[in-house]
């Protein structure tokens, strides 16, 4: 497998990054099965693994740690912090210095490693000063506990703020962003990807199969309910094909499936190859739950889509478009009603 440079760091990573969200109780509870998937990915040339403390509440990191015993030096390991790690304690979450310093130790223990290559802020936190977060991460770099700083699902404005802070305050800068990107979720083409390119940042994009919508399971004449697809409907109890957003995705998935077949590809191959065609993308995160899912996605990085195929994809889903706003990550606090309207009090 070829490699790409993670921004301007000089670190070489595989175009496919193995996402570990489905390892553990959220997906595959059998640790041995998960370790086998990880080893298969490594044997296939993937050298980049992404997980997070919150995935199965630490179980994913524990599984990854088991799989990397004796292999740690050969892997670029990324994990994340921010989300709640306790049901009621509000200090066991977020982007504060207090939590970062505590949680990095817990992640290092679960991962059975002395260092994390890329430590990422999983989401912005409006109530915490970005400088507070960046200074804590800068200290961890100097201590050797993390090598690089990353963010995930940050808007372009906050990406710029992070670069500004690092420059003005003489701190280690954010070197990578992890945004959502797929044929169905193309919003980052408008600003996030150009901003990351401008600052020499790497990007590892999540959900190239749009949460399962581009897996090939969904066509106009065959709709299979899926936990993954249902989850995208903001807590919806089940898949509802009558929703306008789902109808739009079904129509697009059907058209894309036919296009993939004409090109001699599977729909997952087309979807992942599309993401990797953007010059601003370093790696696409694939998140298999089973060995079969992994095998069907391996090799997508070797596919080069023709200009004709790319143009036809643009006709099905326009550049910069998002078919369902719920798929673009969590809602931005600035767009909440209380932030947009004056109080009536």
Question: Would you call 55 a catalytic residue per the annotation?
Answer: yes
In this structure, is residue 273 part of a structural domain? Answer: no
Phi and psi torsions of 291, nearest 5° = -65, -40
The phi-psi region of residue 204 (left if phi > 0; otherwise alpha if psi is between -120 and 50; otherwise beta) is beta
Tens of each residue's pLDDT in the chain, 345 residues? 799 999 999 999 999 999 999 999 999 999 999 999 999 999 999 999 999 999 999 999 999 999 999 999 999 999 999 999 999 999 999 999 999 999 999 999 999 999 999 999 999 999 999 999 999 999 999 999 999 999 999 999 999 999 999 999 999 999 999 999 999 999 999 999 999 999 999 999 999 999 999 999 887 876 655 544 444 444 443 467 778 899 999 999 999 999 999 999 999 999 999 999 999 999 999 999 999 999 999 999 999 999 999 999 999 999 999 999 888 886 666 767 777 776 545
Q: Cβ atoms within 10 A of the Cβ of 313, count?
A: 23
Q: Write down the pLDDT at residue 238.
A: 47
Q: Is 334 exposed, middle or buried (0-12, 13-18, 19+ CB in 10 A)?
A: exposed
Pairing of strands 283-286, 202-205: parallel
In this structure, is residue 49 part of a structural domain? Answer: yes
Q: What is the dihedral of CA 36, 75, 300, 178, to 10 degrees?
A: 110
In this structure, is residue 183 part of a structural domain? Answer: no
Q: Write down the pLDDT at residue 331.
A: 66
Catalytic site residue from 55, 119, 181, 199: 55
Q: In Å, what is the CA distance from 191 to each residue of 35, 72, 154, 272?
A: 37, 35, 11, 21
Task: List CB contacts of 117: < 8 A, sequence separation 6 or more.
Answer: 11, 76, 77, 78, 146, 147, 148
Distance CA 300, CA 297 (A): 6
CB contact at 8 A, 289 and 22:
yes
Q: Write down the pLDDT at residue 218.
A: 82
In this structure, is residue 143 part of a structural domain? Answer: yes
In this structure, is residue 260 part of a structural domain? Answer: no
In this structure, is residue 216 part of a structural domain? Answer: no
Q: Write down the pLDDT at residue 332.
A: 67
**Single pTM value for the model:** 0.92
- Residue 65 sits in a domain whose CATH number is 3.20.20.100
Range of the domain at 14: 1-178
Look-up: residue for tokens 């199965």? 56
* Nearest Cα to Cα of residue 100 among 140, 154, 55: 140
Domains of the chain: total: 1
Q: Is 132 exposed, middle or buried (0-12, 13-18, 19+ CB in 10 A)?
A: middle
């Amino acid at each position: 497998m070829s490699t790409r440079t993670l921004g301007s760091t000089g670190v070489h990573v595989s175009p496919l990054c193995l996402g570990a969200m489905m390892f553990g109780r959220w997906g595959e509870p059998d640790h041995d099965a998960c370790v086998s998937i990880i080893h298969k990915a490594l044997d296939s040339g993937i050298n980049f693994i992404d997980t997070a403390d919150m995935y199965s509440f630490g179980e994913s990191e524990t599984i990854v740690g088991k799989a990397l015993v004796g292999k740690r030096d050969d892997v670029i390991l990324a994990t994340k912090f921010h989300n709640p790690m306790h049901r009621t304690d509000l200090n066991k979450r977020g982007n504060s210095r207090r939590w970062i310093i505590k949680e990095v130790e817990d992640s290092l223990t679960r991962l059975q490693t002395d260092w994390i290559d890329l430590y990422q802020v999983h989401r912005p936190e409006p109530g915490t000063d970005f400088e507070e977060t960046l200074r804590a991460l800068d200290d961890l770099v100097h201590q050797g506990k993390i090598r690089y700083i990353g963010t995930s699902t940050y808007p372009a404005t906050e990406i710029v703020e992070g670069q500004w802070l690092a420059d003005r305050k003489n701190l280690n800068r954010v070197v990578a962003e992890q945004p959502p990107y797929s044929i169905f979720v193309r919003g980052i083409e408008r600003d996030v990807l150009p901003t990351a390119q401008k600052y020499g940042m790497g990007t590892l994009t999540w959900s190239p199969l749009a949460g399962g919508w581009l897996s090939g399971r969904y066509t106009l004449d065959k709709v299979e309910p899926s936990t993954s697809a249902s989850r995208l409907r903001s807590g919806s109890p089940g898949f509802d094909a009558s929703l306008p957003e789902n109808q739009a995705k079904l129509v697009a998935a059907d058209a894309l499936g036919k296009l993939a077949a004409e090109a001699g590809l599977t729909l997952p191959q087309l979807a992942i190859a599309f993401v990797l065609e953007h010059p601003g993308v370093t790696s696409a995160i694939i998140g298999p739950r089973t060995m079969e899912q992994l095998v069907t996605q391996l090799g997508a990085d070797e596919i080069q889509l023709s200009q004709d195929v790319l143009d036809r994809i643009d006709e099905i889903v326009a550049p910069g478009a998002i078919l369902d706003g719920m798929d673009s990550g969590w809602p931005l606090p600035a767009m909440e009603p209380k932030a947009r309207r004056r109080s009536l009090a």
